[in-house]
Structure formats: structure tokens, C-alpha cells
Amino acid sequence: MTAMKGHCLCGAVQIDVAKHRGFTAVCHCRMCQRWTGGLFICFPAEADQVTVAGPVTRFASSDLAERAFCSTCGSHLWYRATGGDGHYALMPGLFDRARDLPLKSEIYTDRALPGLELPGDHARATRADYESRNEHLEGDLP
Amino acid sequence: MCVNVPAAGMAVTGEVRTYASSEWASRSFCGICGTPLWYRLNREGADYSLAAGVLDDLTGLVLDQEIYVDTKPAGYAFAGDHPRLTEAEFLATLGLPEGPA
């Protein structure tokens, strides 16, 4: 999938992605909703394909992951699990070329804020579905 | 996604950081975790466009409007039959001509 360059609203953080997995994914869990203000949408890319420069603040939102944002303008940059393969779940809004990535997955669908359930034929999972497949999770509240 | 709150209805404490995102408005976020808090015009007594996710209880609220739909990415869409305004249509509601993209 095509390489792309992105930046935050103020331009201080620049991100280069050499390769990514080619799709977006949405999460409606309570932590993602609170962090984003409404809709969490990301596209995954392997750690060695991503280069970051600029003033990044990382917040350890749980034992499992960090959420990063620009220290100057607050633009969200990524969600990243601390274990596993360390891939980045990047925010597509930073990248002009991420605009038309297809939506492939929506999780915690039963938690979606009013009006934010997304139509389409992508894969979906409720909170119960998703947590039954990921037993290390203990709910979606901090 | 935001909820409109008049200034008189807001009380704020904590680590608020503000970024002057344009000449006419600013965007505030938590300096510790990056949660967006609100968008607000630079006018005395302006309403807060509060980030919906910040609220503990959104019972009874409905998605009422979508703006700048002509710049929305094609990859996803919101359901519902609420009004959807393009940039030009939205600026017209404010009595403004279309600005630079």
C-alpha cells in the first residue's frame, strides 16, 4: 500500500509511513470515545514502517497501551499497544492519502454514541463479542 | 463530534491546554492525556462546542447535523437522516462567503 506523509494541525509533528495495512478500523469503547471526543478511527502500520518527528506527548492510558498526541496543538497521532508486535494504529486524518482507505472493522458497536453507528458491510463486534475473543481485556472503562 | 454548551452552563477545572487553530477560534485539550475538550470562537461569552466523548451521560442526545460533508473521507459515513451541509452551505448559514480550503 502507498507510502504517505502526514502532519498534525500545527505542523510540528511529521509522520512518514512507508507501508501500511491498507484499511481503517473503528472502536467505540468508552476509553476511545472519551479520548477522541466521539469517533476513534485508525489505520494500522508496522512499527518499522513508521517514522515520527516533533513534539509528541505519550499518555499511558492503560497497562496495555499508549495514546500519543501533539504537545502543541493536541492533534491525536496514534494508539499503540505496549505488548504484541508494537504496530501503530495511526489517525487517518493526519494523512491526505489516507482519505479513501476502506473501513474494514468496527468494534464495541453497542457502545457507539448516538448517530455514530456506521453503515457498510465491514466486520462488526459488540463489546461482548470482542472481549470474549480477547480475554486479557477487563472491560472498556479506565 | 460536539455538543453545544452556552458559557453560563460550563464549569472547568484541570490541566487545560489551548491551541489557537485559526484567527477566529481555538481548540482546547487535556495537557496530560490529549483528550480534546472543546472548540470555541474567540468572542466574549462564546458557546463551547464540547467534545461529546467527555460527557459521562449522553442519554437523550441525537446526532443533529453534519457539516463540511464535501471534505469527508469516502471510506466511512454516518447513518441517519439529519441535515448534511457542504462547506459552502454551512458558511452560508453564517452569512459568510466560501473561504480558502
B45-72 pLDDT, tens per residue? 999 999 999 999 888 889 999 999 999 9
Nearest to A120 among B52, B76, B82 (CB): B76
The whole-chain average pLDDT of chain A stands at 93
Residue in B closest to A43 by C-alpha: B75
Distance CA A67, CA A81 (A): 9
pLDDT, mean of residues A75-81 = 97
Question: Which residue is it, cell 492519502?
Answer: A97
Q: Residue A78 carries which side chain, given as an amino acid letter?
A: W
Residue A59: which of B28, B34, B75 has the nearest Cβ? B34
Amino acid A140: pLDDT: 76
Q: Which chain A positions have a beta carbon within 8 Å of B83's beta carbon?
A: none
DSSP β-ladder status, B36-41 and A88-90: unpaired
In 3-state terms chain B splits into helix, strand, coil percentages (rounded to 5) of: 15, 30, 55
* pLDDT tens-digit readout, A104-131: 999 999 999 988 989 999 999 999 999 9
Pairwise CB contact (< 8 Å): A115 & B62: yes
Q: Is the pLDDT of residue B98 over 70?
A: no
- Whether B75 has a pLDDT exceeding 90, the answer reads no
Nearest CA in chain A to B26: A73
pLDDT for B93 beyond 90: no
Q: What is the mean pLDDT of residues B78-95?
A: 90
Cell of A85: 508486535
Determine the longest span between alpha carbons in chain B, in angstroms.
38
pLDDT value for B101: 46
B75 contacts A24? CB cut-off 8 A: yes
Q: What is the Cα–Cα distance from B21 to A39, expressed in whole angstroms?
A: 20
Q: Per-residue pLDDT averaged across B1-13, rounded? A: 94
Q: What is the spatial distance between Cα B6 and Cα B82, in angstroms, rounded to a whole number?
A: 22
The whole-angstrom separation of Cα B43 and Cα B78 is 31
pTM over 0.80: yes
Which residue is associated with the grid cell 495514546? A67
Between the CA of residue A4 and those of A1, A24, A91, A98, what are the distances in Å?
9, 15, 13, 8
Distance CA B14, CA B71 (A): 34
Determine the number of helices (DSSP H) and then strands (DSSP E) in chain A.
Answer: 2, 11
Percent of chain A scoring above 90 in pLDDT: 82
B88: helix, strand or coil = helix
Task: Identify the band that residue A15 occupies on the pLDDT scale cut at 50, 70 and 90.
Answer: very high
Element containing residue B49 per DSSP (H, E): strand B48-51
Computed over every residue of chain B, the mean pLDDT equals: 90
What average pLDDT score do residues B2-18 get? 94
